[in-house]
Amino acid sequence: MTARRAARALWWDAPMPPEHRTTLRVALFGAVLGALLSWVTSRGLIDDTYITLSYARNLAEHGHWGMTPGLMSNAATSPLNVALLAGCLLLVQPFAGMDGELALGVLTTLLGALAGWWSARAAARLELSAAWPAAALVVVLANPFLVSALGLEVVLLFTAMTGLLAAGLAGRPVLYGLVAAAGLLARLDMVVFVVVLALACTGILRRLPLAVLACVVACLPWFAFSWWWLGSAIPDTFVIKTNQRNFGEGRTYLRGLWTHYAPNTPLTVAVSVVAAALGVLVLALLVLSLLRRRARPGTGGLLGLGVGGVGYFAVYSVLGVPPYQWYYVPPMAALSFVAVLGTGVLLGRRAVRRPGAVVAGALAVAALAGLVVSVPATARSLPWPYPPVFANFATPAEYRRIGAEVGRVVGDQRVASPGEIGTLAYSCDCEIIDQFSDPSYLQGVIDARTAESGPLLRRLLEFNYTHRDPPPAQPTPFVLRWTDAGADPALGIDSWPTTQGTWQRRSVLVLLPG
């Protein structure tokens, strides 16, 4: 027998340890779940998802960091998500061309597998059977708010959470630092989870300098490049989003679930928050068990993840940012994950037996049932035309059709966006202009945000924008504007009736001379 055949026989015939088999099964389950959710949502992605897909397509096709082909911009909140999507676009290009929805499906499948792997490793440290991490994946990924924001960094953030927890429970500081770097590149506010989990996991806390060094080495090059070349170390969305007040009086992050979403989709909000509310209860019971010295090994890491979720919600509430649906996903995901695995920890030895598996399965079935009933009746076809939480001014199909037609009309000339730019820009593949795509449009907002900040934040913003040199504003020959359904669009070059969001209000989008 040749050496190659002997090695192959050893590879195939070697028995796999039971814990690795279990981990692999949960990872495969996560991949299947990610692929299924990707297919269900593939034709109903929200507008902001297409901002990310536009950045990814330009990066994959032209090596260009920007939302539109001709302008460099820095309004992609998640650089890592953009880079991963660009890689997946290159992967699918030989078979399907630059199909953004397919690339997103590939990435979500891979992230689901990785989240499953790390969830299984964390569950093993908590002495739980495979049913618990599998159920946790379902409960988190079937959350209507997460599913409605698929394509943004929501799945990537959840995957980073599972990685931080698994590395923290295993006491692996280098891996923890690398996952922390990925989390920060996925979204800078992941620093809340990174810090809290590091303090909660004794294996990381004891070797904290090593974890910090690994994190800095992995993520500092991007932030330095972004600061020097793109004109800002942090994405411009920090200024854009913190300056927005277009949701109405009292509709901030703290109250947004009840004042903005619940009046129109009360069932969806209820389904989305129930697992997180259970997570808060489980978190309190875990703290109580810790105080009574009855906590199982690894409970501290689980507590850290739950406290990170609560802390994230508190930070965003203090900032007073608008209630964008994806902002609620990190605390919902963290607390829902704690709700499932924490229940297993509280059940103790019963969690590894059949009754524990039945409880885990019941939680998963309840989560799937909640997702199904949260979908509006008008969207109950597969793939769905729009998700359960949806408030764009037109359906994705309408925006895709309008964008393609606008591209044919304007050609290579610039057109100002009507307020929502993502799907139009992706479908048009032309120079649609607003704060997300043209740095010159954003400069006034940056100046105003800097001027109104306190002394410390003002100095930080001035340092952050040291190398910012936006191009001068260019003439914009066309503009897209909304009018009421009853208005006369005759003065426009072209017009398109739309169905405005989940609430089925009619409007008309008109193309006008600039």
Q: What is the DSSP string of 68-101?
A: BTTB-----S-HHHHHHHHHHHHHHHHHHSS-HH
User: What is the pTM assigned to this prediction?
Assistant: 0.93
Does the residue 456 lie in any domain? no
Does the residue 444 lie in any domain? no
> Do both 301 and 219 map to the same domain?
yes
> Do both 316 and 404 map to the same domain?
no
Q: Which residues pair with 510 in a beta bridge?
A: 481, 495
Tell me the three state secondary structure of residue 296.
coil
Which position has the token pair 């992995």? 218
Q: What is the structure's pLDDT at 471?
A: 82
Q: What is the DSSP string of 489-506?
A: GGGSSEEEEEEETTTTEE
- The rounded average pLDDT for each run of 10 residues, N- to C-terminus, in the chain (514 residues) is 52 56 93 96 95 95 90 93 97 90 97 97 93 96 96 97 97 97 97 96 95 97 95 89 70 88 90 96 91 76 96 92 93 97 84 73 92 87 91 91 93 90 90 89 85 88 90 88 68 78 68 86
Query: Of 17, 501, 22, which is closest to residue 264 (Cα–Cα)?
Result: 501
> Do both 404 and 361 map to the same domain?
no
> Do both 424 and 364 map to the same domain?
no
Segment (H or E) for 8: helix 3-13
Distance (Å, whole) CA 460 – CA 441: 22
Does the residue 192 lie in any domain? yes
> Do both 290 and 427 map to the same domain?
no
> Do both 50 and 147 map to the same domain?
yes
Q: What is the structure's pLDDT at 274?
A: 96
Q: What is the DSSP string of 300-346?
A: HHHHHHHHHHHHHHHHHHHHT----GGGGHHHHHHHHHHHHHHHHHH
> Do both 412 and 484 map to the same domain?
yes
> Do both 375 and 400 map to the same domain?
no
Q: Which residues pair with 513 in a beta bridge?
A: 478
> Do both 406 and 370 map to the same domain?
no
Does the residue 163 lie in any domain? yes
Q: Are 142 and 150 in contact (CB under 8 A)?
A: no
Query: Of 110, 123, 137, which is closest to residue 19 (Cα–Cα)?
Result: 123
Distance (Å, whole) CA 301 – CA 320: 29
Does the residue 485 lie in any domain? yes
Q: What is the structure's pLDDT at 483?
A: 83
Tell me the three state secondary structure of residue 512.
strand
User: What angle is formed at CA 176 by the lines to CA 172 and CA 179, rounded to 5 degrees?
Assistant: 145
Which position has the token pair 């002495």? 127
Does the residue 500 lie in any domain? yes
- Domain holding 175, by residue range, is 18-119+129-379
Domain end marker among 352, 379, 406: 379
Does the residue 9 lie in any domain? no
Q: What is the structure's pLDDT at 73?
A: 92
Cα-Cα end-to-end distance for the chain:
77
- Which residues, including other chains, have CB under 8 Å from residue 43's CB and lie 6 or more apart? 101, 383, 384, 385, 396, 397
**Residue 299: C-alpha distances to residues 255, 284, 322, 355, 483 (Å):** 31, 12, 34, 21, 56
Q: Are 471 and 360 in contact (CB under 8 A)?
A: no
Is the Cα torsion angle 495, 496, 497, 500 positive or negative in sign?
Answer: negative
Distance (Å, whole) CA 380 – CA 388: 10
Q: What is the structure's pLDDT at 497?
A: 86
Counted domains in the chain: 2
Q: What is the structure's pLDDT at 4?
A: 57
Does the residue 223 lie in any domain? yes
Strands of the 494-500 sheet, one edge to the other: 432-433, 415-416, 478-484, 505-513, 494-500
